[in-house]
Amino acid sequence: MLTRSSEVIVIGGGVNGLAAATRLAREGARVTLLETAAQTGGAMAARGAAGDMPLAHLTPGLDPRVAKGMALETRGLRFHAPLRDTALDLGGDHRTVAGGLASGADAAAWATLHQRLMRFASVLAPFRAMAPPRLKGGGNDWGALMRHGLGLRAIGAREFRELLRMVLINAADVAEDELNDPLLQGLMAHDATQGAWLGPRSPNSLILYLNRLAMGAQMRLPVGGMGSVAKAMTEAATAAGVTIRLGARVAQIETLEGRVTGVVLDDGARLLADHVVSAISPKATFLDLIGPRGLETGLLRATRDIRARGATARLTLRLNAAPNFRGADLQSRMVIAPSVNAVEEAWNPVKYGEVPKRPVMEIVIPTATEPELAPDGGHVLSALVQCAPHDPAKPKAAKTAMLKATMRVLEDYAPGLGEMVSATHFLMPWEIEAEYGLSNWHHAELSVEQMLFNRPNHATAQYATPIAGLWLGSAGSHPGGGITGAAGWNAAGAIIRGKAV
């Protein structure tokens, strides 16, 4: 159990590590945060590998508990107005979407579907703020479960049955059953599968869309870029008393008789601790830092079975002029996903280690909103590209082909863009893993079989692990990724309540 004299080490200085460290320090623990990179922020921090841009370029909004608990607004953190979505059309007949409001002939159908899905998302959202329940054994927060259960009951028996049905089906079926506009169907299919290892016709893909809506219906761009979130959170952690050590790579988590004793850094330095919170990949935590010999056979097998394949590539283009996406609003979040089939066809080759002919993607031009982000007077195009092979037979050739396919699609939608490019930075999934430690956008694939009490696996689903004093608090734990800080905040809460296995 956490005491005011507890020594806590947090591994990883991304959004979840900063959230966990700050909450624990405010409870009186002596917290040291260890970050391998030269700056905190993880995917929020600008790095040369991504063209001096952060890996993550948008957020659905920080978890309200994190924003309030870390007093981030008092540290100057601000957000621009929620971004509208623009579903790009090759002929310039784009669709604009802002929550439940959409342009085009399918506006009413979109509003009706959005309202219903948001209602489902709203009753699921409270479960993101608590440890997932265990199917048997102790450790459940029965009070919270009862409150949230009443929320489910409040939607009525018919809607509850419909929620259960939708949780088990794919996003493509819902999009095509409820909408007629291919652009709106494609937008929904894209957003349901972004960062995931599945396509819109894959079973259970709709639950990922509901999870996305539970975080926020519209994405946000922080004033000053994503780095401003990292800066404010780092200041809050320091003010709470967290000691931050940069360039500190953990080589081993040490244990004795089934309990954590501390960590060893790659320079040989040994740091003692009562608790270690890992805000990095669960697989890396157990297989690399503990090692197979330190794991019980069942936990070792369960850890190896965690699926963590990434299918997202990251593109940054430096442009000497503003691109023209056939009249689209450059201050919106632009999505190239012209239909459900287009998203599915971008996914299908990746299952076999191949590159799609026409990737789909999310595009942001942050300099259209804040020109100061490009001091040379040009623009920056930032894109998350789906789908990229995770482990192709010929990585160099796959990267070349993927970049060519991506640029070809961009040129189709924004003629002349290629001539504006002054610098290109492109990362494939294995490069993202090497640079950021993210084998998957969520540290572990977000799928129905790796959610709630199975995230990342049953033995570690409530943040505690079978190794006393070792806790998991990354996006690989419930409720998953997105720049929210929810998993780290939840993990710190579990430590404070002393709910060790």
List, for residues 370-404, the tens digit of each pLDDT value.
Answer: 998 887 889 999 999 999 999 999 999 999 999 99
- A 10 A CB-CB count for 91 gives 6
Secondary structure string (H, E, C) spanning 480-494? CCCCCCHHHHHHHHH
Q: What per-residue confidence (pLDDT) applies to 159?
A: 80
Using pLDDT thresholds of 50, 70 and 90, give the confidence band for residue 500: very low
pTM for this model (two decimals): 0.93
Using pLDDT thresholds of 50, 70 and 90, give the confidence band for residue 144: low
Cβ atoms of residues 246 and 18 within 8 Å:
no
- A 10 A CB-CB count for 352 gives 9
- The stretch 112-119 carries a mean pLDDT of 95
The structure tokens listed for 404 are: 């060519």
Among 165, 95, 24, which Cα is nearest to 335's? 95
pLDDT averaged over the chain? 92
Cβ atoms of residues 129 and 65 within 8 Å:
yes
Using pLDDT thresholds of 50, 70 and 90, give the confidence band for residue 131: confident
The answer on pLDDT for 501 being more than 80 is no
Q: What per-residue confidence (pLDDT) applies to 148?
A: 59
Higher pLDDT, 251 or 481: 251
The answer on pLDDT for 28 being more than 50 is yes
Task: Give all strands of the β-sheet with 7-11 in edge-to-edge order.
Answer: 243-246, 30-35, 7-11, 275-278, 470-472
Using pLDDT thresholds of 50, 70 and 90, give the confidence band for residue 499: very low
The structure tokens listed for 418 are: 């290629």
Q: Strands of 428-484 (E only): list them.
A: 470-472
Among 4-13, 126-135, 230-239, 324-333, the least confident range: 126-135
Backbone angles phi, psi at 163, to 5 degrees: -60, -45
> pLDDT > 90: what percent of the chain?
81
271: helix, coil or strand?
Answer: strand
The answer on pLDDT for 124 being more than 80 is yes
Higher pLDDT, 266 or 129: 266
- The stretch 462-485 carries a mean pLDDT of 95
**Residue 360's beta-bridge partner residues?**
386
Q: What per-residue confidence (pLDDT) applies to 49?
A: 60
> pLDDT > 70: what percent of the chain?
93
Using pLDDT thresholds of 50, 70 and 90, give the confidence band for residue 166: confident
Task: Give all strands of the β-sheet with 259-265 in edge-to-edge order.
Answer: 250-256, 259-265, 270-272
The answer on pLDDT for 150 being more than 90 is no
The answer on pLDDT for 449 being more than 60 is yes
Cβ atoms of residues 19 and 233 within 8 Å:
yes
